[in-house]
Structures are given as C-alpha cells and as structure tokens.
Amino acid sequence: MTRIVIVSNRVGPLSDEGKAGGLAVGLADALRKRGGIWFGWSGEQTPEGIDGPAHVEDGPVKLVTVDFSEEDADEFYSGFANQTLWPILHYRVNLANFERRFETGYDRVNKRMAAKLMPMLESGDTVWIHDYHYLTLGQAIRQGGFEGPIGFFLHTPFPAPEIFAALPNARRLGRSMLEYNVIGFQTERDRRNFRRFVLDELGGTTEDGELLDVDGNHVRTGVFPIGIDAERFAEFAVSSEAQRRERQVRNLIRECQQIIGVDRLDYTKGIPERFHGFERFLEQHPESRGRIFLLQVAPVSRGNVDAYSDLRSEMESLAGRINGEHGGLDWAPIRILTRGFARKSLAGIYRSSRMALVTPLRDGMNLVAKEYVAAQNPDDPGVLILSRFAGAAAELTEALIVNPHDDEDVSGAIQKAFHMPLGERQERWNALNAKVRKTTAESWAANFLDVLDQIHRDENTARRA
C-alpha cells in the first residue's frame, strides 16, 4: 500500500482523546495504517502567511500546517469558502456574496497551498483532498507535475446544477474538479447533481455508468457516506462523565421529557424552523405544556460573518418570544446553550434526551443524527426525528423523517415520538443502530481509498503520465 497525503482545511487530532469528529477519526485510522502526511491550515495568521515556515509534527504520520496571512484568512476562508461556496452548496443563493476579491483569494490560496505541498510529495503517493475549500487544489498539483492518483471528497451537498451555475466561476471550478481521478459524495443525489452539471454545463459525456469523459479525462464518481466511530461513541455514553451529565439532566427535568438539538450555529441547520415546529406542537397539544422542553445546544461558529450573527439574534429573540408566550412560572419550553461540550458529556446529554430534532434545511450528512443513535440506552432508546434534506436521511430511514420547512409535519413527528411505545422505539432504534455501526468513519475512509488505489492500475493514469 502506498503512502497517503491528505489535505483538509484543518488537520488532526491523530489520537482520539474524546475530541475527534468523524472526519478526523476516519483519516487518522487510514494514516496510521499506511503512513503519510496530513496538510492544512494551522488556524493562525502571520504576516508571511503560507510562504512562511511550515509547522511539522513528526511521528509515523507527519502533521504539517502553515499559517495564513490576514488577507488569505479574509478572502479565502471567511470569503470565498464560507460566504460564497458554503451558501451555494447549501442552496442559499440569496446569502451568497460574489465579491471578486474572494474568488481571487481562493485561487491564490489553492495555488500556494499546492506549491507548498509539491516538494513533500513522493512518486507513488496517493493524494486525498477534502472539501469545498480546495476544489481546485488537485488541478494545481497536477499542473505542478504530480502524476499519481488524486482523490477528492465533498463533505457538503452538491446542489442542483441550476444553483451551482449561479457562481460566476462555476464552469471553471467544475472543469478543474475533472482533474481528480475519483470524486466522492455523501449521497447519490449529490453525485447525480454533479454529473448533471458536467453533462449539461460543461459538455461532458459518460462512457459507462461510472465514468465522465470531458476532453479525454476520465473521472470516477462514487457515493461514500461518512460515519462515526459508533462503538467508541456508545462507550462514551456509559462513561462516568456521561453518567454524571445524564444524572444532572434527569434531576433537572424530573418528569419532563427533553428534546435535544445539537448544531453548530449555522443557517443550514434549520434552528428557527425547528423552533417554529416545536411552537406549533405546543399550540396543537396544550396538554403537553410543562411536560416537554427543547434544549438547543448551538456553539457559535463563523461569528464574524453577518449571516451568522444575524442568525444568533434571530434564534435568541425567537426563543425569548416562545418562552414568553407559552412558558409558565416553573417551565420554559426552550433552553439555549451556545457553548461546546466534550464528547463524553455530549453522549450523556444525548442519552438523557427522549428525542432528537435533527432538522437541517440542507446537510451533507449530519453526524449528530448518528451520534444520537449510538448514544442511546438499548433498554429505553429515544426517537430520532430527521430532516429529509440531511444526507443521513438516505440511510437512516427508520427515523421519523420530516420536512423541516413544514411546522405541521415537525409538530406531528414530536407528538408521535412523545407517545411512541417502547416496543416501536426499540424496533426503530435496533435498525438504526445496526446501520450506524456498519458504515463507520473507518469504513468510509477505507472504501474511498480502495477505489482510489485502483487508479494506480488504471490506464488512465498511465495516459496522463
């Protein structure tokens, strides 16, 4: 097996001290097995930026990071990645900012990161690039002379081609992606959307089911749903830290039932829509007042972008209004916490919650849905209410699937979960848990790399070389 070189926005951690998410767990496992490099941004800003020294953490696997200049962080990261691409990839054309300096910054950082990476690459390496920050990085290292296989995985949705086409540089971005040997998506819908973009907008053709052919380049597209380390997460849920949290919550809520929502505070996650759905439930079922409440854990993210600070105000004022209108002296329907929790604590909070509302308006996968399932007590499992627009809905069909825009639908699902008999809860949970344990973070990375490894033997690579 060849060495792998991974590029993603942020790198690590390599060892899971209870902090690593799905991406880190899967990649760390693959890196440990094969050796290699994990390259990305340090998260720091310095005047020299990418051109300054690289920070190298050496071991069997090298973690290499570089700083960004203020301009790079602003134009590439806050700008094109998070204010242009992120909204477009999540179907929110109205929120996208098309400032040209963002586009220029994006191209500049992709090229400079490629130039920084080139001297570290050895012939025989397999390169795996991650996510929307680096759509054009593969093209840049191909142009730099690297001849081995290069794969790309998109963690977000790929939108309908009509939406992607709203990007001023849509065709150029799409064409540069065709330099990858393998492009992985979370769901079949995302893969179909990308293929449709290539066929309709770029004049590509298909050769057989798997291949796209544009200007003689063969690109393999595949579906690789990401998972979590479910076994470990289930262990977290019975750790002493989790049990302490669970007791804390149960003492507080007593006879009440807790609905949990856990999301980075992001407009794709559908938090205000969720509150409206819950309010509808309270209006339709006044007998449930005082017996159920929603705990929304939403750590602030990308707080320097207007759309995010606006969302925070919207969430807080909506919760305030609903609590004011529907609450009582001893009960508030919605509680908000804008802080993060250690993963073991989070597991305990999931386990103490009778249902989870995972209702994004669009989401590549959504790992919270999988974590909630993994953390449940098999003797008394909670109910997952899941948006049909989360990638996870393609797999987790035994959840209560809802349209997050439809408050009646969300309200109906809460009512159903509130009264669901133990037998049905267990039946649904058993089916969900089997899936969460089958498609894990490790199997996701291994499956992607298997397909990428085949490229070594592919004549297409030989033709390019």
Q: Spell out, one character per residue from 45 to 84, where the chain touches ligand ADQ: x when CB under 6 A holds, - when not.
A: ----------------------------------------
**Span interacting with ligand ADQ, options 29-37, 47-55, 315-323, 339-347, rule CB under 6 A:** 339-347
Report the alpha-carbon distance of residue 318 to residue 220 in Å, rounded. Answer: 46
Nearer to ligand ADQ, 288 or 376 (CB): 376
**366 touches ligand ADQ by CB under 6 A:** yes
Nearest to 151 by CA among 445, 365, 367: 445
305/81 Cα distance (integer angstroms): 12
Q: Half-sphere exposure of 240 toward its Cβ, with a 13 Å CA cutoff?
A: 0
On whether the CB atoms of residues 146 and 121 are closer than 8 A, the answer is yes
Does residue 404 belong to the site contacting ligand ADQ (CB under 6 A)?
no
Cα–Cα distance, 287 to 272 (Å, whole number)? 23
Q: Which of residues 197-256 bind ligand ADQ (CB under 6 A)?
A: 226
Among candidate residues 155, 190, 263, 266, the one labeled active-site is: 155
> Near ligand ADQ by CB under 6 A, which window of 6-14, 191-199, 304-312, 357-365?
357-365
Q: Which residues of 166-193 are buried (b: 16+ CB within 10 A; e: fewer)?
A: ebebbeebbbbbbbbbbbbbbbebbbbb
Please, where are the H alpha helices in 352-406?
367-374
Tell me the chain's radius of gyration from C-alpha atoms.
Answer: 23
Separation of alpha carbons 146 and 150, rounded Å: 9
Instruction: For residue 52, count CB atoms less than 10 angstroms from its CB and return exposed for 0-12, middle for 13-18, buried for 19 or more.
Output: middle
Is position 373 an interface residue for ligand ADQ (rule: CB under 6 A)? no
The interface region with ligand ADQ, picked from 8-16, 37-45, 96-104, 340-348 by CB under 6 A, is 340-348
- Tell me which residue has tokens 């769901």: 187
Among 174, 204, 364, 382, binds ligand ADQ (CB under 6 A): 364
Please identify, using beta-carbon distances, which residue of 121 and 260 lies nearer to ligand ADQ.
260
Contact 259, 278 (CB under 8 A): yes
Residue 98: strand, helix, or coil: coil
SS3 content of the chain, % helix, strand, coil (to 5): 50, 20, 30
Smallest distance, ligand ADQ to C-beta of residue 339, A: 7
Per-residue interface string for the shown chain with ligand ADQ, residues 255-294, x marking contact by CB under 6 A? -------x-x------------------------------
| 353 binds ligand ADQ, rule: CB under 6 A | no
- Select the residue interacting with ligand ADQ from 91, 331, 341, 418 (CB under 6 A): 341
Residue from 279, 363, 407, 442 binding ligand ADQ (CB under 6 A): 363
Question: 6 CB contacts (<8 Å, ≥6 apart)?
Answer: 27, 31, 36, 37, 38, 39, 127, 128, 129, 130
In angstroms, rounded to a whole number, what is the distance separating the alpha carbons of residues 89 and 83?
11
User: Pick from 11, 23, 140, 295: which binds ligand ADQ (CB under 6 A)?
Assistant: 23
Q: Is 195 in the site for ligand ADQ (CB under 6 A)?
A: no
Q: Which residue has the tokens 């749903």?
A: 225
Whole-number minimum distance, CB 241 to ligand ADQ, in Å? 13
Under the binding rule (CB under 6 A), the answer on residue 327 touching ligand ADQ is no
What six digits make up the tokens of 129?
């690039």
Which of 299, 320, 327, 412 is close enough to bind ligand ADQ by CB under 6 A?
299
Give the residue with the Cβ less far from ligand ADQ, 226 or 384.
226
- Regarding 410 and contact with ligand ADQ (CB under 6 A), the answer is no
- Angle, nearest 10°, between helix axes 240-253 and 343-351? 40
28 belongs to the binding site for ligand ADQ (CB under 6 A): no
User: In this chain, which of 367, 432, 445, 452 binds ligand ADQ, going by CB under 6 A?
Assistant: 367
Q: Is 37 or 361 the residue whose CB approaches ligand ADQ more closely?
A: 361
- The pair of three-digit structure tokens given for residue 403, joined into one six-digit string: 């349209």
155 is catalytic: yes
Q: Give alpha helix (H) positions in 170-257.
A: 170-177, 188-201, 230-236, 240-253
Give yes or no: 419 in active site: no
**From 67, 363, 407, 409, the catalytic residue:** 363
Give the total of residues touching ligand ADQ (CB under 6 A). Answer: 20
By the criterion CB under 6 A, which residues form the site for ligand ADQ?
Answer: 21-23, 155-156, 226, 262, 264, 297, 299, 340-341, 346, 363-368, 371
Catalytic residue annotation: 155, 363
